[in-house]
Amino acid sequence: MKEAKEKKNPEISVSITISTWGAFAVYVITGLFLIFGFHVVRNKYSVDLISDPTLTLRLLWIIEFPIVVIIYSLFRRNPEKCSYFRAVGRSLVGLIAGALINALGAVSLGAPIGMQSLSKTIHWSFLMSVFTVVPATAVLGASWIDWHRIFASLKPIGIIEHMLLVPAYGAIIGGWFGAWPMPLDWERPWQEWPICVCYGAIGGYIGGQMVSLLTLLSEHKNLKLA
């Protein structure tokens, strides 16, 4: 939190641009909060993803959501027209809408639809929404053209759009691969829905962050050389 506040002033002064190092800082903060979330779950509630997936997922997204909103709202489009609080407000809407989309996607891919897994699915899709949709709503708002350009046509412009796109796709692809161990007959508790999908998504998210950092760094170098 402290770091974020320290960043606040210089970042706002340069409007919506962000350096590669800024991106790195954002990734580190989100990553640290993810770790913090796991820490809280383990030490405060002494459960983990395997023993109580519902509670863990709920705590994780509740901890991760504010920090993502706070950070990404700094980089919102048209900061003159759109106030900071409006960005926070619309990311709340984005959270719910994104959760709905993620849940529908998961169910169409074969997530269980029983009553006993309903709460797990809900909290999993909230977490996925925090990874995928929430940052984009905070930054882009309801600008369909930008959404379409970034997420459908895969043509991000600038570092911040790159930061929206790559980790989000990383989380989705990671989750997709995370689903593969589920049918195996190893009879491990982590094979249950949504535990390994969740691990996959988190892994994919972090992997996406790394990939985006690396591409940003190489582009940066190229720019410098040019």
Partner 1 sequence: METYLKNKKLTALGFLLIHAIAILIFTRGFLLTRTELPFHSTCSDVSLSPCLASPRSNHDSSSGQSNQTQPKCWTKPVVDRVIIIVLDALRIDFVAPSAFFPEPKPWMDKLTILQTLAFANDSSAKIFKAFADPPTTSLQRLKGLTTGGLPTFIDIGNSFGAPAIVEDNFINQLVLNGKRLVMMGDDTWTQLFPNQFQKSYPFPSFNVKDLDTVDNGCIEHLFPTLFKDDWDVLIAHFLGVDHAGHIFGVDSSPMINKLEQYNSVLEKVINILESQAGPGGLHENTMLIVMGDHGQTLNGDHGGGTAEEVETTMFAMSTKKHTTLVPPEFDTSSCKQNKDGKQMCISYIEQLDFAATLSALLGISFPFGSIGHVNPELYALGSSSWNLDKSDLGNFGTQSAANEWMKHYVDVLCVNAWQVKRYIDVYSNSSVVGFSSDDMSRISDLYSAAEQNWSNSVKHILMDRNGDDGSTDISALLKEQIAEYLNFFSSVVELARSKWTEFNLNLMITGFGILVISLILQFLAVFHGDKSYAVGSWLSTGAAFTLFIVTIRACSFLSNSYILEEGKVANFLLATTGLIKLRYSVMRKTMRKEAFMFLAMVFVLRVSIDIGLTKQAATSQFMSSSPSWMLGIAPDHPALTYAIEIAPILSVVILICVLYVAIAKAPNEGVWKYVTVGSMVSYFFIALLWASESKIFGLDQLLQVTGGRNRIPQTVYVIGLVQLCLLASARMFCTEKDKNWAIRTVALVSACSSPIILLSGKQGSMLALVYLVAGYCIMRLEGVERRTKSDGQSKFSKLNPLCVVQWSLLSICMFFASGHWCAFDGLRYGAAFVGFDEFVLIRQAILLTIETFGFSIILSVFGLPLLIPFHSQTPQAHGEKRHQLFQMYMLFGVISATTVTATILCVTIQRRHLMVWGLFAPKFVFDVVDLILTDLLICLASAYYL
Binding interface with partner 1 (CB under 8 A):
105, 107-110, 112-115, 117, 148, 152-153, 176, 179, 183-185
Measured CA to CA, the distance from residue 13 to residue 69 in angstroms comes to: 19
HSE-up of residue 31 (Cα within 13 Å, Cβ side): 15
Q: Which is nearer to partner 1, 43 or 108 (CB)?
A: 108
CB of 176 to partner 1, least distance (A): 7
3-state secondary structure string, 15-61?
Answer: CCCCCHHHHHHHHHHHHHHHHHHHHHHHHHCCCCCCCCHHHHHHHHH
Q: Which is nearer to partner 1, 95 or 179 (CB)?
A: 179
CB of 144 to partner 1, least distance (A): 10
CB of 108 to partner 1, least distance (A): 5
Q: Which is nearer to partner 1, 126 or 151 (CB)?
A: 151
Please give the structure tokens belonging to residue 53.
Answer: 């997936």
CB of 104 to partner 1, least distance (A): 8
Count CB atoms within 10 A of the CB of residue 168: 23
Q: Which is nearer to partner 1, 142 or 184 (CB)?
A: 184
Please tell me whether the peptide bond between 10 and the residue prior to it is cis, using omega within 30 degrees of 0.
Answer: no
Amino acid found at 211: V
Q: Which is nearer to partner 1, 32 or 118 (CB)?
A: 118
Count CB atoms within 10 A of the CB of residue 80: 6
Identify the CA nearest to 202 among candidates 100, 61, 101, 98: 61
CB of 103 to partner 1, least distance (A): 12
Q: Which is nearer to partner 1, 35 or 104 (CB)?
A: 104
Identify the CA nearest to 126 among candidates 98, 104, 165: 98
Please give the structure tokens belonging to residue 46.
Answer: 């002494």
CB of 128 to partner 1, least distance (A): 14
> What 3-state class would DSSP assign to 185?
coil
